[in-house]
Amino acid sequence: MDEALIEAAAGTGAHIVVLYLLHETRRVLLLEAALGLPAWGAKPWTHVRAKAGAPVAAAARRDELIWVSGPDDLAHRFPATALSVPYPFAMAAAPLHNGGRVAGAWGLVWPASHPARLSRDELSTIERISLRLGQALASAEESGCPVRPIGQPHTVTPPWSGEADGQRAPAALDCLDRFADGIAAIDIEGHITFCNRAATRLFGLDGAPAQGCLLWDRVPWLRESAFEERCGGAVIGQQPTTCVAAHPDGRLLEIRMHPAPSGISLHLTPAGPDADGRAEPAPLDPAAAESPPLNDSLNFLHMASTLTHALDVREVVDLVADHVAPVYGVHAMALLVAEGGRMRVVGSHGYAREVLDRLDGLPVTSPTPAEQVMETGRPAFFDTWEELAQLYPDAVRQDGEAAWAFLPLSVSEQRIGTCLLAFTDPHAFTPEERIALNALAGLIAQALDRALLYEIKDGLAHSLQTALLPGALPHIPGLETAARYVPATRGVGIGGDFYDLLSLDDGSVAAVVGDVQGHNMTAAALMGQVRTAIRACTVTGADPGKVLQHTNRLLVELGTDLFTSCLLVHVDLRLRTFRAATAGHPPPLLCLPRRHAEVIDVPVGPLLGIDADAEYPTLNVPFPPEAVLALYTDGLVELPGADLDHCIDDLGRRLAQGCAEPLWQLTDALLAHAASARLHADDIAVLLLRHAPASATPP
């Protein structure tokens, strides 16, 4: 297979070729071989999840050729990959087949200067090599020696052309030694392959031989600059770049890197006055010339993982502000989304209201940077106010802002808006920063899209929940009532908790609370069916046990996979009693005047929807004047790691403490002490009834 990878590089001009094979679990792709990729570059990519947002994973998962035309395309479609490899390059990834089954994927990397489309010859080579690699896998399996990926890739060494002419080499070396500037060369791993006299002096390599040693091991002060990272960018992107490093004696050294597939040529010159007093035209400040290593400063892995957990737009904004602002001096940010032909500000940080008002509602066709970036899908960077104002005289500026980045927000190749970042000082955006920030915008777009969708679904869910619950409790003479439903607000969606209260023809009152298993639309729909069934059966005059029995049979016949707990109470104010039956629900609490609250041990029947022949015993309980009856769902009492009985007893004590208070005030007090309400961990339904003969209508 090594020969096939070498042929692929030669036939397409790719400087990096990688081969991945699917692990037998089919959950991860393991790097099997790499050509042109140094070990330090391969290490983070030896294991790629099959579901990851990476080109090779997408090729294997979709079983199709993936073409990434450059850094902008990578940032929009695979932002996590772009942020982890913030260098300009183009890439193709193709699936591998073994016996008609996807067995892995392989990829080719070119400089970003590659044309926007693959040529016919390149496509033909990719197709031919894909077939050849697949046949090699099949042949190995048929011979009884199948290739088993273990995640320890081997390096494929290509027979690079251009070997030195033995007769001309001494003359070439002598020529290079005459240069006053330093000339050196390293291979793609960083091993020194050549140093002229000036480079040896500038690096401080006089003495022990340096040939074959890692440059940053022999010149450790290079590690304190961005030299290693710039070398990585040069190898992967195959574009010249520059680095400024500080010698321990205070001298500044400018290192220009000229990459090739076989290594990097280095051109060294003093960045300030040199030993002979010769001055550079523009001495460079290493603090200004070097941005912090992007992989460390952005902490992209943490950023990517935390953004996946953001449920709403505010969380997305806060996460971006917390991770980006401290590193790059971001003064303010705004997220704008196209909606109804206009740009709408959906989230912001650090912007004054009057600035946001000017940005919000502009037509998507407006000649502003935010709208044009969204339209073209290309980021725009402005190092100074003068640069921005020259192109956009009507641009909005807030005090303290001196540089701007307008980044396109794209999801599934569809542009949805723009991310605006404003900086406090004039900011010369390096190529690596531009790539990284554009990739960051891709992550923001995905998180923002999820957050907006969640907010829409959450709003619809809670609207449905509200519609299914009673709009207002009926007024019943002799009975004070209060009810409350508190939804869980952290990622669980719509709940199945419900309550109801209805006045019956015989003067009695039916009160019910229940909890349908699950937190989704199905649970809400079933909750509506249960509530309707209980109402329909209750008005026939059946006692609570018979009502639950009938409802249970109905749910079993429906064949639902969800189960329901329910507590049903019939209150007879004339007889001053209530009858109760329960289907696996927490027990009611009864607080008598000037006494403690009691747990009413109603015989517990099974949950509704399990056993069609289940029975539900009914218990008769006195309900004297001024007594308060509390019905609730488990969200009011459950606490992780705590005993449920103890939690119910604690609720009883709090009920007794506020028994004389108005019921709405007592309800607030009970909810204030509920762990679920504080943590938003589960939804809660609570229904309080007070026997109040004084409120009854006189005969």
Model pLDDT for residues 611-646, shown as the tens digit of each residue: 999 999 999 999 999 999 999 999 898 877 788 899
Half-sphere exposure at residue 389, Cβ-oriented, CA atoms within 13 angstroms:
6
pLDDT bucket at 494, cuts 50 / 70 / 90? low
Instruction: Tell me how many degrees the CA angle 124-129-134 measures, rounded to the nearest 5.
Output: 130
Query: What is residue 282's predicted lDDT score, i.e. its pLDDT?
Result: 38
Give, to the nearest 10 degrees, the angle between helix 431-468 and helix 313-328: 160
CA distance 690 to 663: 8
Domains of the chain, earliest start first: 2-156 (3.30.450.40), 176-272 (3.30.450.20), 304-460 (3.30.450.40), 469-695 (3.60.40.10)
pLDDT, mean of residues 355-360: 90
Helix (H, G, I), strand (E, B) or coil at 437: helix
Contacts of 577 (CB under 8 A, 6+ apart): 571, 620, 621, 622, 623
Express each pLDDT in 580-609 by its tens digit: 999 999 999 999 877 789 999 999 999 999
**pLDDT, mean of residues 487-516:** 81
* The predicted structure's pLDDT at residue 301: 54
> Taking all residues of the chain, what is their mean pLDDT, rounded to a whole number?
84
Assigned token pair, 90: 């183009």
Band of pLDDT at residue 153, cut at 50, 70 and 90: confident
Q: For 438-447, write each residue's pLDDT tens digit.
A: 888 888 888 8
More confident call, 381 vs 678: 381
The pLDDT score that the predictor gives to residue 146 is 81
pLDDT value of residue 306: 64
CA–CA separation, 615 vs 146, rounded Å? 62
Structure tokens that stand for 414 in this block? 């569809």
* pTM of the predicted protein model: 0.59
- Which residue in this structure is represented by tokens 């809660």? 684
Q: Which region among 131-135, 441-445, 551-555 has the lowest average model confidence (pLDDT)?
A: 441-445
- Residue 95 sits at φ, ψ, to 5 deg, of -75, 155
What pLDDT was estimated at residue 85? 82
Residue type, 381: F
Do residues 611 and 574 touch, judged by C-beta distance below 8 A?
Answer: no
Angstrom CA distances, 532 to 469, 535, 552, 583, 597, stand at 11, 5, 13, 17, 31
- Alpha carbon separation from 511 to 573, 603, 616 (Å, rounded): 13, 17, 16
Residue linked to tokens 């070990």: 39
161, two tokens: 């052309």
Q: What is the mean pLDDT of residues 234-259?
A: 87
For 41-76, write each residue's pLDDT tens digit.
777 788 888 888 899 999 999 999 999 999 888 888
Mean pLDDT on 564-577: 94
C-alpha closest to that of 15 among 263, 265, 267: 263
Would you state the structure tokens that stand for residue 600, as one six-digit string? 């009413």
Beta bridge partners of 570: 510, 579
Predicted confidence at residue 678, as pLDDT, reads 52
